[in-house]
A and B are shown apart, each in its own frame.
Chain A
Amino acid sequence: MNSSIALSSATFIYGLATVFYIGYFAFKKKMLATAGFFVLVTGFLLNTAGIGLRWVESYQMGYGHAPFSNMYESLVFFSWTMALLYIFVESKYKEQGFGVFVSPLIFLAIAYASFDPSISSKISPLIPALKSNWLIAHVITCFLGYAGFAVAFGFSIIYFVKPKKTTENGVFARLPSWDVIDELTYQMVVFGFLFLTIGIITGAVWANSAWGKYWSWDPKETWSLITWFVYAIFMHLRLMRGWHGKNLALVSIVGFVAVLFTYFGVNFLLSGLHSYG
C-alpha cells in the first residue's frame, strides 16, 4: 500500500458513495443512504491513510514535510475536510438527504486532483518560503473554512431545486425540512467563517514572520478578504435583517464562488506570492 493507491481508491470510493446517495434520492430506499454513508466513511479512511502515507513517504524521500505544499495535495486535503465535516453533520443531525448535494463535491475535488494532467502528484521538496510551522496551522484552518462553505453551498443548492410544497411520494420527499436546511446552512457558514478567519490570521502572522508584512494586498490575500466580506454580509443579513431562505442561499452561493476564485482563480489567472496552491 502506498499513498497513490490509497488516494486513487479513495477517489473511486467517493464516486461510489455519490452513486449511492443519488440512488437514495431517486429511489428513496433508506438502505441506499445507509450504504452511501458507510461507503463514504470508507473513502474517508482511505483518504486519511493516503494523506498519512504521503507524509511518511516525503520523509523517506528525504524532503520531510506535511502534505500541504501544492495544488494536488491541497485538493486531496479539501476532499478530506469536506468528508470529515459532512460525516460529522450526518451523524449528529441524522439527516441523510443532504448526502446527494455534498458527496459529489467531495468526489469532484479529489477526482480533479487525480485526472487533471496539469496537476502534478509528485512529492516535491519545500521551497524556503513554505518551511515554517505555520504551514500546517494555516492550511488546516483555511481548508476547514473552505469545507464549511462548500457544504453550505451544497445545502444552499437545495433551495433552487426543492419545490416549496413536497408531496409524500415525490422526488424531494426525502430532503430535510426547510427549518433544518436553513439552520444547517447557517451552521456550516458559521463554521466556515470562523475557520476562514483563523486561516487568514495564521496566514497574516506567517507572512509577518516570513516577509515582514502581515498584509500586502497580494491577490490571494485580497480574495480571501473578499470572501470574508461576502460571508460577513451573509451573517449581518441573517442575524440583523432577518433574511432567510432563497435570498440568503443566493448569498451563500456567491460566497462559494468567491471561495472557488480564491482557491483556483487566483492561481490560474492572477499572479502573486501564493503560486503554490
Chain B
Amino acid sequence: MKEKKVKNQDTIPRQIWEFFCSVKLTVYTLVLLAVTSIIGTVVLQNGTPQQYIALYGKGLYNLIQVFSIDDMYHAWWFLFLLVLLCINIVVCSVERLSLVWKTIFPKQIRFNPDRFLRSKKKHTFFVDQTADSVTAACENWLSKQVGPVHKKNEENFRMVYAEKGRWTRIGVFVVHASVLLLLLGALIGSVFGFKANVRIDEGDQISTVFAAKTREPVQLDFLIRCNEFEVKFYDTGAPEEFRSNLTIIEDGQETLTTDIRVNHPLRYKGINIFQSSYGTASSGAAVMAITDNITGQEITRTMQVGETIALPDETGSFQLQGFLPHFDFRGRNLGEAFFGKVTPKEKEAFQIGMPLQFPTFDKMRKGRFTFVVKEFEKKYYTGLQVTKDPGVWYVYAGFVLMILGCWVTFFMSHQSYLIAVEPRNDGKTSIHLAGRTNRSTQNLNLKLAGMATRLENQFKKG
C-alpha cells in the first residue's frame, strides 16, 4: 500500500482515489450520519409551516427550510452523505479486493513457518518416538482435524501445515455489498413505488389513490371495495383486532374477496394493501325521539339525513342535517353525534348537536322540544395503506447478504495450523503446535490449547 502511494503521489486522479478509499473518510461519514440522524428524531418531521412557526419561531423556521430539516432524511445534504458512503464503499472494496483476491484464491498455498514458531502461544511437548513416525502421525491427525496437509522441511524441522476458512476473507466484501444493495433497493422504491392512504366507507369502492408524498393521483388497475369493517375489543377496552373484508374487482369481475388485518395484508398484482386505521363514516339514517317539554308528548320516528319534518302544533320545523364522527363542543370532543337545524315559527333558525354518548345533552338547551338520537345505522370506514415498492426485493436480498456476511466476517475466520517436529539429541522428539488467524486470537488460543491436549493424548495412547 505505502509503496503505491509514493509512486502515484502526484497525479490528481490518484489523490482523489486515495481520498475515497481512506477509512478515515468512512469513520467521519458514519459519525456525521449518526450525529445528524439525531436531528430528525428531535425536530418535528413533515409538519405544516404553522406548526413549525408555533414551535420554533419564524427565524428558526427559515433555517429549517433552508436545510430541509422538516424532512431531513430526504434532505440533499443527508442524501449526499449516503452517496459519499457508497462511493467510499465501492472505492475501498475495489482497492482492497484487488489486493486480497490473490490471498483468497491463491495459485499455490504457501506458509512461513517462522511466523508460527515465533508465537508466544506455541505449545511444545516431547514424545518418545522417532521423528519419522511422529511426523506421519501428526500428518494424519492434522488432516482429520483441519484439512488437507502441506509439508515442508526446513533446517532441523519437519513441518506439517493445514488451514481452513480461507474463503471467509470474502465475508467483509459481502457485508459492504449488502449496504449498496439496500440503498439501491431504497432508491428503486422511491423512484418507481408509491405509498398512499385511502379511506373507504363500508359498501363503497375506489380505484384511485393519492400518493402521500406527491399528492398525485395513482390509478390502480382494479377496484377495491370494502364490504365490511369490524373492530373487536378486549374486556379491558384495548383493541383486539381490526378486520376489513375487501373485494377486488377487475374489468367488472369480482376476482378476489378476502379479509385483511393488521400484520396480514393483501398483496395483489404488485400492490400491497394494509389495514392502517378505521373510523365511523357518515350515517344515512337515524331514529329520532322528539319530546315536547310542555305537553310531555314524545314522537319517535326514523329520519333520513337531509329530511325535514314539521314540529307539533305548527311550532316550526326540524331538519336532520348530518353526522359527525367527532363532535366538538366548546373545545371538548363529545364523540359521535348527529346535528340538525331547528326553525321555530317566525323566529331565527339555530343548529343543535345530538351526541350519542350523552342523550340528555339537548335537554340542557331548555328549549320547547328536546331532540335525542335513539338509534342509528352505524357505518364504518376502513383506512388502508396502499403501496407499491418494486425495490423491496433488493432490500430483502441486502438483508440476507448482510446477515450472512456479518456471520462469516465475525464468527468465522481463516485459521492455519502448523506442527513442527524436531528430533532431539536424546532420541526423543519435540512437537511444536502453533496457529494463526486473521480474526479472534483469543478463540484461536483456546482452540490451540484443546488441540494440544488432544494431540498429546493421541501419542500417550498409541
Q: Which residues of A contact B (CB under 8 A)?
A: 63, 92-93, 124-125, 127-129, 131-132, 179-180, 183-184, 186-187, 190-191, 193-194, 197-198, 201, 204-206, 208-215, 217, 219, 222-223, 225-226, 229-230, 232-233, 236-237, 240-241, 258, 266, 270
A215 B186 Cβ-Cβ under 8 A: yes
What residues of chain B lie closer than 8 Å to A129, measured between beta carbons? Answer: 262-263
What residues of chain A lie closer than 8 Å to B239, measured between beta carbons? Answer: 127-128
Contact of B276 among A211, A236, A240 (CB under 8 A): A211
Q: For the complex, is B317 an interface residue (Cβ under 8 Å from A)?
A: no
Closest chain B CB from A277 CB (angstroms):
15
Q: For the complex, is B66 an interface residue (Cβ under 8 Å from A)?
A: no
B262 A210 Cβ-Cβ under 8 A: yes
Considering the complex of A and B, which 9 residue pairs feature the smallest CB-CB distances, nearest first? A229-B34, A183-B442, A128-B262, A240-B23, A212-B274, A219-B41, A212-B387, A132-B263, A190-B410
B238 A127 Cβ-Cβ under 8 A: yes
What residues of chain B lie closer than 8 Å to A125, measured between beta carbons? Answer: 234, 236, 238, 240
Alpha-carbon distance between A89 and B9 when the two chains are bound, in angstroms = 47
B410 A236 Cβ-Cβ under 8 A: no
Contact of B240 among A128, A204, A212, A214 (CB under 8 A): A128
A212 B34 Cβ-Cβ under 8 A: no
Closest chain A CB from B447 CB (angstroms):
11
Q: For the complex, is B441 an interface residue (Cβ under 8 Å from A)?
A: yes
Alpha-carbon distance between A93 and B41 when the two chains are bound, in angstroms = 40
Q: For the complex, is B395 an interface residue (Cβ under 8 Å from A)?
A: yes
Contact of A233 among B31, B262, B265, B392 (CB under 8 A): B31
What residues of chain A lie closer than 8 Å to B99, measured between beta carbons? Answer: none
| 8 Å CB interface, B443-459 against A | 443, 446
26 CB contacts below 8 A, A to B, read A93-B442, A124-B238, A125-B234, A128-B239, A128-B240, A128-B242, A131-B263, A180-B442, A193-B406, A197-B403, A198-B403, A201-B403, A204-B399, A206-B263, A211-B274, A211-B385, A212-B265, A212-B274, A212-B276, A212-B385, A214-B395, A217-B40, A236-B27, A237-B27, A240-B26, A270-B42
Q: For the complex, is B434 an interface residue (Cβ under 8 Å from A)?
A: no
Query: Which of the listed residues A128, A215, A222, A233 has the most CB atoms from chain B within 10 Å of its own CB?
Result: A128
Q: For the complex, is B30 an interface residue (Cβ under 8 Å from A)?
A: yes
Q: For the complex, is B69 an interface residue (Cβ under 8 Å from A)?
A: no
Alpha-carbon distance between A213 and B265 when the two chains are bound, in angstroms = 12
What residues of chain B lie closer than 8 Å to A240, measured between beta carbons? Answer: 23, 26
Closest chain A CB from B413 CB (angstroms):
12
Contact of A210 among B240, B263, B410, B446 (CB under 8 A): B263
Q: For the complex, is B329 an interface residue (Cβ under 8 Å from A)?
A: no
B238 A232 Cβ-Cβ under 8 A: no
Q: Given contacts A204-B395, A204-B399, A270-B41, list 18 more A-B pairs with CB under 8 A.
A: A124-B236, A128-B261, A128-B262, A190-B410, A194-B410, A197-B402, A197-B406, A198-B403, A201-B402, A209-B263, A212-B195, A212-B265, A217-B73, A226-B34, A229-B31, A236-B26, A237-B27, A241-B24
Alpha-carbon distance between A213 and B233 when the two chains are bound, in angstroms = 26
Contact of A194 among B33, B261, B407 (CB under 8 A): B407
Q: For the complex, is B321 an interface residue (Cβ under 8 Å from A)?
A: no
Q: For the complex, is B219 an interface residue (Cβ under 8 Å from A)?
A: no
Closest chain A CB from B220 CB (angstroms):
15
Alpha-carbon distance between A127 and B45 when the two chains are bound, in angstroms = 26
Contact with A along B147-174 (1 / 0, CB 8 A): 0000000000000000000000000000
A184 B442 Cβ-Cβ under 8 A: yes
Interface SS majority for chain B: helix
Alpha-carbon distance between A219 and B399 when the two chains are bound, in angstroms = 21
Contact of A183 among B41, B73, B440 (CB under 8 A): B440
Q: For the complex, is B364 an interface residue (Cβ under 8 Å from A)?
A: no
Q: Which residue of B lies closest to A132 (CB)?
A: B263
Alpha-carbon distance between A187 and B440 when the two chains are bound, in angstroms = 8
Alpha-carbon distance between A176 and B134 when the two chains are bound, in angstroms = 37
Alpha-carbon distance between A191 and B409 when the two chains are bound, in angstroms = 12
What residues of chain A lie closer than 8 Å to B272, measured between beta carbons? Answer: 212
A92-B440 CB under 8 A given contacts A125-B238, A198-B403, A205-B399: no
Alpha-carbon distance between A217 and B238 when the two chains are bound, in angstroms = 26
Q: For the complex, is B109 an interface residue (Cβ under 8 Å from A)?
A: no
What residues of chain A lie closer than 8 Å to B24, measured between beta carbons? Answer: 241
B387 A213 Cβ-Cβ under 8 A: yes
Closest chain B CB from A197 CB (angstroms):
6
B274 A232 Cβ-Cβ under 8 A: no
Q: For the complex, is B411 an interface residue (Cβ under 8 Å from A)?
A: yes
Alpha-carbon distance between A184 and B406 when the two chains are bound, in angstroms = 18
What residues of chain B lie closer than 8 Å to A233, measured between beta carbons? Answer: 27, 30-31, 34
B274 A210 Cβ-Cβ under 8 A: yes
Alpha-carbon distance between A260 and B238 when the two chains are bound, in angstroms = 29
Alpha-carbon distance between A129 and B41 when the two chains are bound, in angstroms = 22
Alpha-carbon distance between A208 and B399 when the two chains are bound, in angstroms = 13
Alpha-carbon distance between A214 and B234 when the two chains are bound, in angstroms = 29
Contact with A along B257-286 (1 / 0, CB 8 A): 000011111000000101010000000000
What residues of chain A lie closer than 8 Å to B442, measured between beta carbons? Answer: 93, 179-180, 183-184, 187
| 8 Å CB interface, B208-256 against A | 234, 236, 238-242
Alpha-carbon distance between A241 and B197 when the two chains are bound, in angstroms = 48
Query: Which of the listed residues A127, A132, A193, A197 has the most CB atoms from chain B within 10 Å of its own CB?
Result: A197
